[in-house]
Amino acid sequence: MDMAKPTIRFKGYQDDWEQRKLGDLVIDHNAGIYISKEDYGEGTNVIGVGNIYDRDIFDGEIYRLGPVNDDKFILDENDILYGESSLVPEGIARTVCVGKNGAGSAFAWHTRRVKLDKNIVNSHVATLELNYLHDIRKYLVSVSTQTALTGMTTEGYFGVTLTLPSVEEQQKISDYFKNLDHFITLHQRKCDETKRLKKYMLQKMFPQNGEKVPEIRFSGFTDDWEQRKVCNITTSYSGGTPKSGYTEYYDGDIPFIRSGEIYSDKTELFITELGMKNSSAKMVHEGDILYALYGATSGEVSRAKLDGAINQAILAIVPNDDINANFLVEWFRKEKDKITDTYLQGGQGNLSAQIIKELEVTIPSYDEQNKIGLYFEQLNTLITLHQRELENLQNIKKFMLGKMFV
């Protein structure tokens, strides 16, 4: 029997980890219940194959309600559940461990419930190994069946080799990653809640459908808002791209901002002064508004995070002195779907500088613009903080998964 030890482990544990075939640890297993689409609506909470790809623990989240009259389709705490099919090979046999609040839910067709010997293996630790260890994922893909969907047989799944320490050490590992996932979920929830609040307030703090005042506004402001064309309250211009094949135009000191980089503080390409001189590329400065005209980001808008040159796919917008830039950016974001639906039929085509400049925006006094702009800037900062903390926690999890397992 092969032995091994992880790089990082809890104090007091020194014994080698032992390899075990997953199939040798299985007490019972069965496939999920088939429920037709027409029968969903009332009954028991049912988790399906599509609900197991973004989590390691299923803790009772409500998905669909359906009729379940057989206890063999009801989950117990510490069961594991895996997907028997996947649209892509990389997703096959994704596994969740059933938490305390997940017990009592049912599991649907294309998933399989497995009960493991708790005296040997912690189901959460098994789930982490099955989902994240490179050699195990590689093995599962190799034994999957490839048809219209990627499939997984019980023989293939149970053929996985887990490497396990004592049950006591497994419990400590499980507790550590449960706590980490708790903080990840917390920041994800706060980020999502703040995004929903922002979306709601964008609709309430700007006038709707020809109205002259918004539904929600700061106290002390009562005047009607005025309608102005974008071209009358800003200066705008687009850029260009130096000819490819001229090495003297590239790898210079000027960041070259493309439409997919308007949110970023760095660029993939740099151009030279000669490249600027011999093309239509134009400089923008940190804080200028960048509006994406072409490509996958059409309709996206941001304030420049750095000084650099822009290409023809970006419209730079510099507000007049009586227009708050953050206010205008948020107005563009609120109007994005309307703009793209009107001018990009079926997602095809490009926006043009002329289209954007002729848009009519309803604006309040400069003081009210400032308050609105500051409010949304604070929301954006809060969203960014949660996203950054979320990314940090996810990186910690990825690092520790690589160090705390064999």
The domain segmentation of the chain, as residue ranges, is: 3-165, 166-215+364-406, 226-363
Q: What is the CATH number of domain 166-215+364-406?
A: 1.10.287.1120
CA distance 381 to 215: 24
pLDDT of the residue at 1: 43
Q: What is the CATH number of domain 3-165?
A: 3.90.220.20
pLDDT of the residue at 3: 53
pLDDT of the residue at 11: 95
CA distance 74 to 55: 19
**Mean pLDDT (10-residue bins), the chain, 406 residues:** 80 95 98 96 95 93 95 98 95 97 97 98 98 97 92 97 98 98 95 97 94 96 97 97 95 96 96 96 97 91 97 97 98 95 72 95 98 98 96 98 96
Same fold, 166-215+364-406 and 226-363: no
pTM for the whole structure: 0.84
CA distance 120 to 231: 71
Q: What is the CATH number of domain 226-363?
A: 3.90.220.20
Contact by Cβ (8 Å): 135, 159: no
